[in-house]
Structure formats: C-alpha cells, structure tokens
Amino acid sequence: MMRVQNRGNSQPRWLFPFVLTVICLLSVLPLARLAVTGISSALQGRMGDLLTDAVVWHALYDTLVTSFWGMVAAVILGGAFALLLTLFDIRGKAALGFLFMLPTMIPPQVTALSWIGMTGPSSTLLKALGLAPPLGSPQPLYSIGGIALLFGVQNAPLVFLSLRAGLLALPRDGIEAARLSGASSWQVMKDIILPLSLPGLAAGAAIAFVSCVGNFGIPAILGIPASIYTLPTLIYTKFATFNSGTFGEVSVLSAMIGILSIIGLAVEGRVLRGRDYRVIGLTGQAAVFRMNGWRWFAELGLWLTIVVILVMPVTALVASSLAPAYGVPLNLSTATLHAYEEILFRQSITRTAFTNSISLSLATAFGLLVVTVLTGYFLVRSGSRLAPVLAALAEIPYALPGIVLAVALILLFAAPLPIIGISLYGTTWIILIAYFSSFFAVSLKPVVSAFRQIDPSLEEAARLAGADFCRRLTDIIVPLIAPAAGASVILVFLIACNELTVSALLWSAGTQTLGVAIYNLDDSGSFNLASALSVLVVLMVVAMMLVLETMANRLPKGVVPWRS
C-alpha cells in the first residue's frame, strides 16, 4: 500500500514547482531583466545623457498632461454614467451600460482612427454631409487636447465600473433610514452617497490614469503626426532609430512608465484598502431615486453621449471604409466595398496579419488556460502561505503597461538563448511569450473565481471514490469550471487579437499582427484600408462581447468585466 508524506493535500507534488516556475518565467524574470538593464545603464552614466535630453522631459511632461486630462474626462464621463445608471430610475440601463463599455474593448488605434474619420478636412463622413472644414485646415485631434479627449473616452468605463461597484455596495437600509428621517434626495446624495462612493471614484480615476500613461495606440496615431511624443511613443521611435545606447535608454524610459503606474496602482490600493469591491458586494441592490420630470432629460443626455462617443465615430469609420476614389463624394451609389476586398483577398500583408493575430490569440487563449487551471487550483486549494504572494506576482505584468513588458522581453531575448543558441528576437515566439506573460492575469481571474465557488467536498468525494489528481481534473474539476474557462478563452482571445502595444515593438517582417497592420496602413496613408480593417475588428469585438453577455448568467460574478 502506498503511503506518502502529503499532509492531506489534494495536489500532486509537481504542482507547486510548476506554478512557481510559470510565475517566475512569465512575471519575475522579464521584470528583473528590465530592472538590471535600467540600473546598470544608470550606473554607467548613460542616465545623465538621457536626463539632460529635453525630448525625454518633454515626453514625460506630455504624458503627464494628456494622462491627467484624460483621467479628468474619464471621471466626468464614467462618473456621470455610473451615478445615473446605478442610483436613478433610468430606462434601458442594460443597453446603455453595454454600449458605454464598448469603447474600452475597442482597440485604441481603432478608436483613434474612427475619431479622425469624424473630424478634420479629410473626413469622408463630413464631406458626404457637406460639413467638412476647408482643405488645409488642421485636424483638431492631432493635439494634446485630442489625445486627452480620446484617453477619456477609452478609459471612462474603468471609472464607471469602479464607482458602480462602490455604489452597489452602499447600504440600502442606511439610505432608506436617512430618507425616513426626513432627508431630501439631495441631502442623502450629499451626506451619504458621495462620501461613501468617493473611494470607488478615486480608485477608478487612478486605474484610468495608469491606463492612459501606458496607452500606445492613441498617441501613436494622433501624436506622432504632430510631433507630440508620450513616453510609450518615444520608446517606439527610439527602437526605430536603433543604436548602441537604445537598450539602456528604453529601459530607463520604461522604468519611468513603470514608476508612474506603480504610483497610480498604489493610490488605488490605498483608497480601496480593506474593501475589495471587485469581489464582494456586486449583488447588492442599490437605492433607486425617482427622477420624475428630470428623467427624460437625463435619458436624452445619456443617449446623446453614446451617440457622440460611439455611434458617430463608428459611423465615420464605416464611411471611411466605404470611401470611393479620392475626391469623389460618398453617397449610396458611390460607396464601394473595394477596401474590404483589398484587405481580405489582395493584400498579403493584411492576410498575414489576420493569420498571425488569430493563431497567436488562439494559442495564447488555450495555452494559458491549461496553465491557469493548474495555477488557479493551486492558488485556491493549497492553503499555502505563498499563494497570495504568487497571486500578486501573476497580476503584475497585466497591471503594468504593455510597453514596459515588451521592452523587458526584448531585453530578455535580444541575445540568443543560452545553451541552445537560438534567437527568439524577431520571431513569432517572442510575441507569443509576451502575450502569455501579459494576459496571464486575464486568463487566471475567471478561473480563480470559478474555483472559489466550487464546494471543496465535490473534489473530496471524488478522492474517496478513488480518483487521482489527473482523473479528478478531467472528470470533476474541468467540467465544473467549464463556463468560466470558456469566458477566460474568449476574453484572452479578444484582448490579444486587438492589442497593438506589445506587438508594435516585437513584430518584424512576416510577424505583424492586426494591430500593427492597422497602424502601418494608416501610417502609409491608406486610410480607407485601415478603416475597413478596423470595422472588421469592431464587428469581432461586438460579436464576442455579445457571446460573453449571453453566457454571463452562468458565470461567477465579476468574470465578465463590463457586468457588475
């Protein structure tokens, strides 16, 4: 009879070393490499050159300014939507919430393209409507203000979710008690709701700020033509003009982004200390105030906002993608699907991009699932004191801006791998590794929530039935977490398929992704092709979000990011 020294744990012995290795490879190793290069180049005095470079200070200043105003715009937009949709008797809340969440899921470079299509002298939509400004007038979005505005639109849903989670956790009976004691709606709002919901708002603002600091797609498309550089786009241009000092410089620049992000995340952690809104309290029923006569007004405002931030840009994008030859105005008879034909059937670059993005995303989504099911099992079931530390380490690569991770991986893989002597730099593999590292936390979260919901006795019963770990995994555990695993695959696929930041630095000829293809098409002036590709991407995003939406009732709370 076999007897083992296993303290009654249900996990096989190899699980802990496996989880530890995975987390070290995906999280600790790249970041440690980045830190080493940054520190060593600082010690070699390169830091001095960089820090006296006015371009760097300018980029830092522009990053802070655009991120700050982007955060302000996100707080105004997201805050208003969260308050109105959570606390008041607005009709059509589900539809409004879903549409409001769309801009975060649409890739930033697509958002930027669609807004460009809506404004400026070359807008196909404005020309078709006869509203276009005269030729030669500037594109207003190629500016600090334009970047900040789009940052705001893109990240408003982050503030929305954070504040909403806070509002849903408000004690309903406390509010009712205040109203019974004679307080007016306004007084209740001022004295109870606002103070209690401030942490959620502040946390949302902090996450929005971090997200702005790391954003690459928007400043790349809006800023570079106007010679406005933020830290991520500066890193990108440094790689474009590669020289011997580049590695040292970009590692210091990424460290700056990293530090700004850590400050933001620390603020978030601090205001939310002791209350994890994202896990608890989501089911709470918030107090609903009646708006009476004001309801029409509020609903009109909400829908108008949706029209401006979503419907109009997407319409402009579609219009641009249907644009006929240059100079011919767009109407029903001149509209052409030529751009779609071109990207789907003629251009080998876009077809390669489709193949690359889809296969990379599928490989990432399913490959990560295998890893995260085992990791999630360990984190939830082991009871190990190391589990929270490992969980936090797994979060870091996703919490940090993608550009930082991309730089870290370039540093890690620039030289050929030791022992086998193969270089990954410039191959698809480096993008795949970056995706694994970057989206590990995205894949892990639904799986961990599902594990937390499973009664441990279900697995214990299987142990007594005689099933060993692999058997339990296939017969009991995987079927029980299947819906969450499905959600995890879709989310990772969606995000990986749309990302630009990581692949913008890591691609080379033949390994371009969809994000890179859109950016390059726009960069080379093929605006209609870029728009057509973007329309396809938006359709894909909406389709996948709808799939998740229909699955939402069978998933643990908090798995579908825009649902709460």
Shortest Å, Cβ 446 to another protein = 18
Does residue 462 interact with another protein by CB under 8 A?
yes
Which listed range, 4-12, 215-223, 406-414, 555-563, lies at the site for another protein (CB under 8 A)? 4-12
Q: Is 553 in the site for another protein (CB under 8 A)?
A: no
Question: Binding of another protein at residue 388 (CB under 8 A)?
Answer: no
Q: Which among 3-11, 58-66, 73-81, 235-243 is the span making contact with another protein, rule CB under 8 A?
A: 3-11
Candidate ranges 30-38, 173-181, 475-483, 499-507; the one touching another protein (CB under 8 A): 475-483
DSSP reduced 3-state for 422 = coil
Which residue type, as a one-letter code, is found at position 399?
Answer: A
Instruction: Provide CB contacts within 8 A for 339, sequence distance 6+.
Output: 321, 322, 323, 528, 529, 531, 532
* Residue closer to another protein (CB basis): 40 or 474: 474
User: Any contact of residue 385 with another protein (CB under 8 A)?
Assistant: no
Question: Out of 464, 470, 509, 550, which residue is the one contacting another protein (CB under 8 A)?
Answer: 464
Residues 408, 425: Cα–Cα separation, whole Å = 12
Q: How far apart are CA 134 and CA 481, in angstroms?
A: 58
Q: Enter the tokens of residue 194.
A: 């606002």
For 88, list phi and psi in degrees, rounded to 5.
-115, 160
Name the segment binding another protein (CB under 8 A); options: 117-125, 146-154, 220-228, 472-480. 472-480
Instruction: Name the residue nearer to another protein (CB basis): 332 or 464.
Output: 464
Q: Residue 467, interface with another protein (CB under 8 A)?
A: yes
CA distance 124 to 122: 6
Q: How far is the CB of 43 from another protein (least distance, A)?
A: 43
Give the residue from 207, 204, 203, 172 showing the smallest Cα distance to 86.
172
468: contact with another protein by CB under 8 A: yes
Q: How far apart are CA 53 and CA 47, in angstroms?
A: 10
Amino acid letter, 94? A
Which residues have CB under 8 Å from 276's CB, separation 6+? none
**Of 465 and 546, which has the nearer Cβ to another protein?**
465
Told to check if 58 binds another protein by CB under 8 A, we report no
Q: Minimum Å distance from CB 93 to another protein?
A: 30
How open is the CA angle 191-193-195, to the nearest 5 degrees? 65
Question: Residue 346 or residue 452: which is nearer to another protein going by CB?
Answer: 452
Burial of 531 (0-12, 13-18, 19+ CB in 10 A): buried
Question: Of 5-13, 264-272, 488-496, 500-508, which segment contacts another protein by CB under 8 A?
Answer: 5-13
Question: Which one among 177, 461, 539, 543 touches another protein, defined by CB under 8 A?
Answer: 461
d(Cα 321, Cα 134) in Å, to the nearest integer?
A: 21
Task: State which of residues 29, 414, 480, 551 lies at the interface with another protein (CB under 8 A).
Answer: 480
**Quick one: which of 465, 539, 543, 546 contacts another protein (CB under 8 A)?**
465
Toward another protein, which CB reaches closer, 263 or 480?
Answer: 480
Q: How far is the CB of 468 from another protein (least distance, A)?
A: 6
The one among 3, 273, 290, 385 contacting another protein by CB under 8 A = 3
288 lies in the binding site for another protein (CB under 8 A): no
The answer to whether the beta carbons of residues 380 and 448 sit under 8 Å apart is yes
Q: What is the DSSP letter of 417?
A: P
Q: Which two tokens stand for residue 13?
A: 């012995």
Which of 76, 129, 328, 458 binds another protein (CB under 8 A)? It is 458
Can you name the residues that pair with 289 across neighbouring β-strands?
88
Stretch that binds another protein, among 62-70, 164-172, 403-411, 452-460 (CB under 8 A): 452-460
Q: For the window 341-380, what string marks contact with another protein as x by the rule CB under 8 A?
A: ----------------------------------------
* Shortest Å distance, C-beta 454 to another protein: 10
Closer to another protein by CB, 276 or 460: give it.
460
Instruction: With contacts defined by CB under 8 A, name the span among 14-22, 427-435, 467-475, 531-539 that binds another protein.
Output: 467-475
Containing H/E element for 208? helix 194-214
- If residue 456 lies in a helix (H) or strand (E), which one and from where to where? helix 456-464
Among 326, 345, 455, 553, binds another protein (CB under 8 A): 455
Among 285, 457, 550, 553, binds another protein (CB under 8 A): 457
Nearest to 89 by CA among 293, 277, 281, 284: 293
- Name the minimum Å distance from CB 556 to another protein: 14
Query: Which residue reads 């655009």 in tokens?
Result: 66
Q: Is 479 in the site for another protein (CB under 8 A)?
A: yes
Q: How far is CA 483 from CA 5, 40, 274, in A?
A: 35, 47, 30
Residue type, 400: L
Q: Which stretch binds another protein (CB under 8 A): 244-252, 267-275, 468-476, 507-515?
A: 468-476
Query: Do 400 and 256 contact (CB within 8 A), yes or no?
Result: no
**Piece of 42-50, 74-82, 110-118, 456-464 that binds another protein (CB under 8 A):** 456-464
Residue 6 binds another protein, judged by CB under 8 A: yes
How many residues make contact with another protein (CB under 8 A)? 25
Pick one of 7, 273, 290, 385: the residue that binds another protein (CB under 8 A): 7
**3-state class (DSSP) for residue 106:** coil
CB atoms within 10 A of CB 327: 6
Backbone angles phi, psi at 199, to 5 degrees: -60, -40
* Tokens coding 202: 């502040």
Q: 447 with 372: CB under 8 angstroms?
A: yes
Q: Which residues bind another protein (CB under 8 A)?
A: 1-8, 455, 457-458, 460-468, 471, 475-476, 479-480
